[in-house]
């Protein structure tokens, strides 16, 4: 990947990076395990971003 990216691409990559996190433990406890998994979880090798 190139070092210098357009700002739009950089913004979308940053958003994808933030989305790619697990659900916090306190959220799982607060919702009694109803929200346990993040459906937007993504692996960098398996899934490709449409940036």
The domain spans of the chain are 1-37
According to the model, what pLDDT value does residue 39 have? 95
Q: Say whether pLDDT at 46 is over 70.
A: yes
Q: What span, in angstroms and rounded, lies between the C-alpha atoms of 1 and 10? A: 12
Q: What span, in angstroms and rounded, lies between the C-alpha atoms of 6 and 28? A: 37
The tens digit of pLDDT for each residue in 2-39 reads: 789 999 999 999 999 999 999 999 999 999 999 999 99
According to the model, what pLDDT value does residue 20 have? 97
38-48 burial, b if ≥16 CB within 10 A, otherwise e?
A: eeeeeeeeeee
In this prediction the pTM is 0.76
According to the model, what pLDDT value does residue 51 have? 86
According to the model, what pLDDT value does residue 1 have? 66
Q: What span, in angstroms and rounded, lies between the C-alpha atoms of 21 and 7? A: 23
According to the model, what pLDDT value does residue 2 have? 78
């Amino acid at each position: 990947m190139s070092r210098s990216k357009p700002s739009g691409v950089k913004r979308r990559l940053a958003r994808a990076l933030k989305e790619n996190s697990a659900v916090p433990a306190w959220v799982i406890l607060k919702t009694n395990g109803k929200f346990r998994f993040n459906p937007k979880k993504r692996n960098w090798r398996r899934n490709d971003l449409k940036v």
